[in-house]
Structure 1
Amino acid sequence: MPDPTQQYPAPATTQLPAQQRRLRIAQGILLLFHITGFIGLGFSANPDFYLQFVPLNLLLTVGLLLAFQPERSAAFVWFCLVTAAVGFFVEVIGTRTGLVFGFYQYGPTLGLQWLGVPLLVAINWLMLTYTTGILARYLPLPAFARAVVAALLMVGLDACLEPIAVRYNFWQWRFDVIPFQNFKGWFAVSLILQVFFNRTDFVKRNALAPFVYMLQLLFFFGLGLLG
């Protein structure tokens, strides 16, 4: 006869709704912040008020995204640190030489800077590399082909972001022209990071990642349509 005091794990049917609730709550929070920002930047007479919340929005997005990483192993932490560091120092080289993306300088919108580059830029590179890498995992392709697709997804988001970034002084380009070199540089750096993503051994699954990418894409694309 089975021991009536023995504890059994909760059935999957009761665990799944809890996971779905967490996901819906996170999606709702991100949607609320992005809709508020979209309305404020697109229609407010004082968009500067909303721009001060850009760093908070980015940190909140990344924090919720990483909270849905199933296992935050040492390999995953290593991936995050290396990706953030590579993204940051590539930008340092880029702003100082113009060799990677073209000639540009960062404005004050993204907050605290070191070596002329906002520290949040490192977080942004991590977020984009991670979310697009997760998205590419849905495709039945060889690893390098997935890396190429993920890099293209990063470039596509950057193409939507660039006009908005210039408009709200995230950064400024020399002669106010976004060079094609920027997109070539983005693809090259993104591809390197995606290969690193594929070769680092951690659980590559995140229920929030597709929502984060689409929300970012629609946010910047929508602001671009508003002119």
Structure 2
Amino acid sequence: MKYLEKTALSRIFIIIFHLVGFIGFSLPQYHDFFLSFVPFHLLLMAGILLANQKEFNKNFWSALVFVYVGGFLVEVVGVSSGAVFGVYHYGETLGIKLANVPLLIGVNWFIIVFCVGAVLKKYLKHQRTLKAAIGAVILVVLDFLIEPVAVRFDYWSWENSEIPLQNFIAWFFVAFVLLRVYYELEFRKSNPVALTLIICQFLFFLGLNLTVI
């Protein structure tokens, strides 16, 4: 019973925070206020995801560290060289930076990889490579929705204000590698809030694309 109550409350929190954030981003007079809470929102979503994780063994922590560090380092290489995603740099919205990359970027990779990974884990049994590829396609679609919003609200910006095709190709390969390792490591991947969280992310960015951008 307590488990069900925690899951239900977690889902309610996820929905409410995304809905409130959507309203705040949609109202120009509140942009600065809500943008200041973006780092806290990401940390809260990561915390809710962790709170509903069913198993914390060595492989789970190995997957988490690999996704966080791998996602962060590829962004460091990308920002410094322009050779991964294209030429871009981060603004101030995502908070404290190391090597010109917000530390929260790794948290964002953790959230989306673990959400998509958990949702797909019960399908295509033992076909880890195919699941990783499907998950990577889903995350490319999510990035397609994120990009205009991110540029509009100073998450990051692109050279000549153009989002290159290279970015989406790189997103696929980075997401694929992160998901493939996630599936290779054995731990209980079920997470009862993963579907709610990834749907809310899709709806949040889709809504802003339709109403603000």
TM-score under structure 1 length normalisation: 0.90
Contact between 2:14 and 2:196, CA under 8 Å: does it hold in 1? no
Q: Distance in 1 between matches of 2:138 and 2:31?
A: 28
Q: Which of 152, 165, 185 lines up with 1:180 in the alignment?
A: 165
CA positional deviation for 1:78: 1.0
1:145 aligned residue: 130
**Equivalent runs, 1:131-210 vs 2, <5 Å:** 131-140=115-124, 142-210=127-195
* Equivalent in 183, 190, 210 of residue 225 of structure 1: 210
Aligned-pair distance for 1:185?
0.3
Deviant stretches of 4+, over 6 Å: none
Deviations 1:110-136 (A, max 9, x none): 000000000000101111111111111
How far residue 176 of structure 1 moved from its aligned partner, in angstroms, is 0.2
In structure 2, the partner of 1:56 is 40
Q: Does 1:66 align with 2:50?
A: yes
SS in 2 for 1:172: strand
Task: Report if aligned partners of 1:135, 1:150 keep a CA contact under 8 Å in 2.
Answer: no
The alignment yields a C-alpha RMSD, in angstroms, of 1.0
Corresponding residue number in structure 2 for 1:128: 112
**Structure 2 alignment gaps of length 5 or more:** none
TM-score normalised by the chain length of structure 2: 0.96
Rounded to whole Å, the distance in 2 between the matches of 1:130 and 1:28 is 19
Of 80, 97, 102, which aligns to 2:86?
102
2:191 & 2:97 partners in 1: Cα distance?
A: 30
Q: Which has the larger radius of gyration?
A: 1
**Quick one: distance in 2 between partners of 1:31 and 1:127?**
15
Q: Per the alignment, in what secondary structure is the counterpart of residue 105 of structure 1? A: strand
Identity score, percent: 36
Which residue does the alignment assign to 1:11?
Answer: none
Instruction: State the 1:138 CA deviation.
Output: 2.9
CA distance in 2, matches of 1:119, 1:140: 34
Separation of aligned partners in 1, 2:118 and 2:14: 19
Alignment gaps of 5+ in structure 1:
1-16
Aligned partners of 1:217 and 1:72: how far apart in 2?
A: 27
Segment of structure 1 superposing worse, 178-187 or 147-156: 147-156
The higher-RCO structure (CA 8 Å, 6+ apart) is 2
C-alpha separation in 2, matches of 1:59 and 1:208: 15
